[in-house]
Amino acid sequence: MNKAPADVRPYAYYSVMRQSQDPKTLRLRMALYAKEHGVKPAAAAFKATPKTVRKWLRRFDGKLASLAERSRAPIKRPRKLSAVSERKILDAKRQAPRFGARRLKLEFELPYSVKAIRRVCRDHGLARRWRRKKPQTKRLLRDVKKHWNFCQQIDVDTKNLCDIPEYWQPLKGLGLPQYQYTARDVTTGLLFLGYANELSLAYATVFAERIIKHLQACAISLHGVTWQSDNGSEFVGSWQAKNDSAFTHAIQRVPGQTHRTIPPGQHRFQADVETVHNLMEQEFYETERFTSRHDFLAAANHYQLFFNLARRNSGKEDKTPWQLVNEKRPAADPMLPILSVEYLDELHHAVLHSPPAGGYDVWALPYFPPAPPPFAAFASSMADNSQQDVRNGNRGPARRSGRFPSMLDLDTAVPLQQPQPPMRFQPRVVFCSVASKDLESSRRFTRRREARRGAWR
């Protein structure tokens, strides 16, 4: 017997409907085919039933929207929630918009099923279908920070430059700085830079004090300014410290300023300053070529000026930091974005070795000679002066002539100015009075001198 030819149509109508993203298109083709060839030929061609073809042919009015699915819910639902019940669910949802249906039922003790609560929220457009993504969160945070005052928050951080391949060779060959100190205003993006060869609390303190003095010189009110940093030792000192660090004291010495640290490991709190580190690595350290420390400092100053005055920031309305500063402070000092980039270790060294006049026994700042002068040389010089006076016939009291110091002068003698120690050495703190072990020798010498003076009389 001859078998009937197999149907070569690969898919049936209902199989295509279950997998189709837009079933209206297939129904349109079936309705047009039925109008041209009839209901039963269309049912055979699309592998559907004549009843299905008649249903869609009856609903089709010439528009594609007429072929969409209709609600199959019953017309009358005796167990449907009343308007009062729905209002109770909606009020709870508006009080806690982040709660889901299950949490709403538990917290507000709603006497309805989880599916009913979810359906009511969905019907009124209060259901949240997905969690907020990170880019959306960033956009919302930008909208919040955009309305802050100028210098309301200054983020400060450091960057280790040893992990940049293009910078490694000049770092070692030319002695370029190893660490970058960065401070940035959050709302405008205004940038201030500093460099040093190590992470140090003293250098961070010098960096903050320098920025504070610059802002004060530009007539910027620092009341309400918050400095935010991580928990590095260059900002908080030792992790075991119980008191505030010198960096914190330098900031809070100005009335109205506060220093705040971020939670440990939460680097996203420093997003504004971390963005600058990434930009500078791509635009500055990987592209610039340096010939000396002076050339590096000049290039860093040029980049800071470019960043503050000319570079547009896509995260801040495609405007430069200086444009945003002028929008918030139209009468801002033109010198505000022009704080020079300096080596912080050299600034700190200069401050330590230019002390003001001190008090009676001790200087206002410690004195750092390479080694204390030996007392033997001091005593020998006094003896030579005594013999010279005898040869010259000066037999009067040497104390009145001022040639020899008195006992009080010996106790408070200040060593001569010594050459400054190199920066690579750690300075040793010594006091300005004569060592106690040399004091007795000086007194014995004075007694012998007085005896010789009495013999001449």
Residues 205 and 318: their CA atoms lie apart, in Å, by 33
Look at residue 279 and tell me whether its pLDDT is greater than 90: yes
Q: Does 426 score more than 60 pLDDT?
A: no
The torsion region of residue 175 among left (phi > 0), alpha (psi -120 to 50) and beta comes to: left
pLDDT of residue 388 exceeding 60? no
Digit-coded pLDDT (tens) for 366-376 = 444 444 444 34
Class assignment of domain 141-350? alpha beta
Q: Identify which has the larger pLDDT, 5 or 99.
A: 99
The per-residue pLDDT for 440 is 61
Query: Would you say residue 138 has pLDDT above 70?
Result: no
Task: Please write down the HEC assignment for all residues of the chain.
Answer: CCCCCCCCCCCCHHHHHHHCCCHHHHHHHHHHHHHHHCHHHHHHHCCCCHHHHHHHHHHCCCCHHHHCCCCCCCCCCCCCCCHHHHHHHHHHHHHCCCCCHHHHHHHHCCCCCHHHHHHHHHHCCCCCCCCCCHHHHHHHHHHHHCCCCCCCEEEEEEEEHHHCHHHHHHHHHCCCCCEEEEEEECCCCCEEEEEECCCCHHHHHHHHHHHHHHHHHCCCCCCCCEEEECCCHHHHCCCCCCCCCHHHHHHHCCCCCEEEECCCCCHHHHHHHHHHHHHHHHHHHCCCCCCCHHHHHHHHHHHHHHHHHCCCEHHHCCECHHHHHHHHCCCCCCCCCCCCCCEHHHHHHHHHCCCCCCCCCCCCCCECCCCCCCHHHHHHHHHHHHHHHHHCCCCCCHHHHCCCCCHHHHHCCCCCCCCCCCCCCCCCCECCCCCHHHHHHHHHHHHHHHHHHHHHC
Residue 146 and residue 187 in contact, taking contact as beta carbons nearer than 8 Å: yes
- Report pLDDT digits (tens) over 103-134: 999 989 999 999 999 999 988 888 876 677 76
Q: pLDDT tens across 27-60, in order? A: 888 999 999 999 999 998 888 899 999 999 999 9
Reported as a single tens digit per residue, the pLDDT across 57-73 is: 999 998 888 988 888 87
The dihedrals phi and psi of 41, each to the nearest 5 degrees, come to -60, -35
Residue 357 or 331, more confident: 331
Half-sphere exposure of 172 (CA within 13 A, CB side): 7
Rounded Cα–Cα distance for residues 104 and 423 (Å): 66
Residues in the chain: 457
Rounded distance between C-alpha atoms, residue 64 and residue 59, angstroms: 10
Average pLDDT over residues 217-228: 93
Q: What is the pLDDT of residue 217?
A: 93
Residue 235 and residue 183 in contact, taking contact as beta carbons nearer than 8 Å: no
